Amino acid sequence: MATSTSTVKTAKRPAARHPRLQSGECIPAYGLADGARSFRYGLRARERVAVDRALEILGRYMRNLGTVFLDPVQLSSYIALQLGGEPREQFAVMYLDSQHRAIAFEILFSGTLTQTSVHPREIAQAALQHQAAAVVLAHNHPSGSLQPSRADEALTQTLKETLALFDVRVLDHVIVGGSETLSMAAAGLL
């Protein structure tokens, strides 16, 4: 994993026990793309810093809300900023505690222009490591289309069933197409 010199935290995933974030702290983000295949690579240094700063501000704002779902627009903006410009499909998870406060955001899988292989076992393991009570799934469509495929719907159902075995709720699956987002929960597809 490439390390980032920006203000967004891009460290490796923490060990099983980690301190909870305090109000005013930004949400840790893991697995962010920063190499030649990332949209960030093509940005000027000043632009990269601006995007990272915007993510930090949104992350801090979401922490201060007390719960991510008080303002789903901010959640969608955060996810769109993380995934919207990526030229390849990325699959990410926002981990939440029992009060639906953000614990961390992590890009777990990276794929091709049109698909990503997602492994439910890895998501369950990461959710348990973060001690998450709930998750928000997210992935991008580099084509810009917000329409979920049958595979997206089937994957969401599989992950919902798998994580339920560990008492982890799937609250939403957000699809990002450029700067636009689609909430599968709001669309009645969850």
pLDDT tens readout for residues 125-139: 999 999 999 999 999
pLDDT score for 2: 38
Domains in the chain (CATH in brackets) are 29-183 (3.40.140.10)
Phi, psi (degrees; rounded to nearest 5) at 50: -65, -45
**Which pLDDT band, with edges at 50, 70 and 90, does 26 fall under?**
low
Q: Per-residue pLDDT for 16 more than 50? A: no
The candidate with the shortest Cα–Cα distance to 130, out of 23, 19, 25, is: 19
**Which pLDDT band, with edges at 50, 70 and 90, does 148 fall under?**
very high
How far is 167 from 160, CA to CA, in rounded Å? 10
Token pair belonging to 76: 């969608």
Scanning the chain, the segments in alpha helix (DSSP H) are 45-65, 72-83, 120-129, 150-164
How far is 125 from 131, CA to CA, in rounded Å? 10
Express as a percent the part of the chain with pLDDT over 70. Answer: 71
Token pair belonging to 61: 């704002």
Read off the pLDDT of each residue in 132-149 and give the average, rounded to a whole number: 93
Q: Per-residue pLDDT for 112 more than 90? A: no
Which pLDDT tens digit goes with each residue over 31-90?
565 544 455 656 777 887 887 777 777 766 666 555 555 567 778 888 888 888 888 899
The candidate with the shortest Cα–Cα distance to 14, out of 106, 119, 109, is: 106
Token pair belonging to 134: 């709930």
Q: Per-residue pLDDT for 9 more than 70? A: no
Q: Per-residue pLDDT for 5 more than 80? A: no
Q: Which residue has the higher pLDDT, 2 or 82?
A: 82
* Report field, pTM of the whole predicted structure over 0.75: no
